[in-house]
Amino acid sequence: MADESKTKKHLVNELKKLRHRIAVLEKSEAKLRQMGVELSDSEAYLKAIMAAIPAGVMIIDPERHRIVDLNETATSLIGGQKKRIIGKECHQYVCPAEKGRCPITDLHQVIDNSERVLIDAKGRKLPIIKTVVPVTFRNCKFLIETFIDISERKRMDEELKRLATTDILTGAYNRTSFDEIIEREIERVKRYNKPLSVIMFDIDHFKQVNDTFGHNVGDAVLKKIAYLVKKILRKVDYFMRWGGEEFIIISAGIDREQAYTLAERIRKRIGNYKFDHIDKITVSCGVAEYQEGDTENSFIKRVDDSMYQAKREGRNRVAVAV
């Protein structure tokens, strides 16, 4: 009887322990389930944010420089399928020049709104503005790279610059650009000891053209002359509208004799062209080569003087400054 009661007591105790263990297990299971919900919630939350951001977002494994995830904007900027991009090395697409010397992981720098380059799946280069933030998620380190495509902004900047430096009527550079260009070219002459020449030409008796045929015909002549001259020049030559009917050509790498030959070609091309309404138009040209000790002003004065010499000597000719 005593034995029976002992066994019963033991069984009750075991049952109690078992119930306690079950309760603990139930509690931890509920906790795990809750954690699972929270984890999938935060993942969904993260994905929702990535999808909503109007910028490319890439999650990078900083140790292997591999792309772990990317949003739709990043995918469409790169082009192709997201699953083919995931797992690739980030430098294949973003900042290719920084491979092996990553500013974040190797040089421990901060990248915040810096201009960088993105290479898309077809190998085209896109200028981007990029920010990188290191984060720790589930005890792992990641880099979150956010970037926006600035090619449109760059195109607009270039277009604005082009408009600001171009003469609308003729498409030649306007005078605003002159100082910057001549200064740069003179610096180059000094550094590389290469020749630099300038040609200036002015239309002969242009006032008569306007007076006889009207301003619009005069404008058409200016346009046509610019077109004819541009076709003769090399890509490296600068062609500029100096004033009303005066033009300047800055030609690096050619000396006085070569500049004379070029000026003669221009003079003959214009002189031989049959302009609408008017028959013949001629121009007078001055030529000067940069000399040691020349300033911008003295250089331009020499070419201007030689052009007026050509006018004085009878027009429709080229005069070279000594």
- Residue tagged 């605003």 (tokens): 176
Selection from Mg ion, ligand GH3, none that 218 binds (CB < 5 to 8 A by kind) is ligand GH3
Question: Using the rule CB under 6 A, is 218 a contact of ligand GH3?
Answer: yes
User: Which of 98, 202, 289, 304 is the binder for ligand GH3 (CB under 6 A)?
Assistant: 202
Task: Please state, in angstroms and rounded to a whole number, the distance separating the CA atoms of residues 232 and 74.
Answer: 46
Residues 185, 245, 246, 289: which is the catalytic one? Answer: 245
- For the bound state, the minimum distance from the C-beta of residue 163 to ligand GH3, rounded and expressed in Å, comes to 18
Short-list 262, 257, 213, CA closest to 234? 262
Question: Using the rule CB under 6 A, is 205 a contact of ligand GH3?
Answer: yes
Q: Is the dihedral of CA 32, 34, 40, 46 positive or negative?
A: negative
User: Which of 203, 240, 270, 307 is the binder for ligand GH3 (CB under 6 A)?
Assistant: 203
At 229, give phi and psi (nearest 5°).
-70, -45
Burial class (CB in 10 A: 0-12, 13-18, 19+), 279: exposed
Short-list 88, 132, 128, CA closest to 108? 132
Query: Of 32 and 169, which has the nearer Cβ to ligand GH3?
Result: 169
Selection from Mg ion, ligand GH3, none that 112 binds (CB < 5 to 8 A by kind) is none
For residues 85 and 93, the answer to whether their CB atoms sit within 8 Å is yes
Query: Of 184 and 205, which has the nearer Cβ to Mg ion?
Result: 205
Question: Using the rule CB under 6 A, is 311 a contact of ligand GH3?
Answer: yes
Structure tokens at 168: 């609308």
Q: What's the start-to-end Cα distance of the chain, in Å?
A: 138
Question: Using the rule CB under 6 A, is 283 a contact of ligand GH3?
Answer: no
Q: Does residue 29 carry a catalytic annotation?
A: no
Query: Of 98 and 304, which has the nearer Cβ to Mg ion?
Result: 304
- Catalogue the active-site residues: 245
Q: Which residues bind to ligand GH3, rule: CB under 6 A?
A: 202-207, 210, 215, 218-219, 222, 244-245, 311, 315
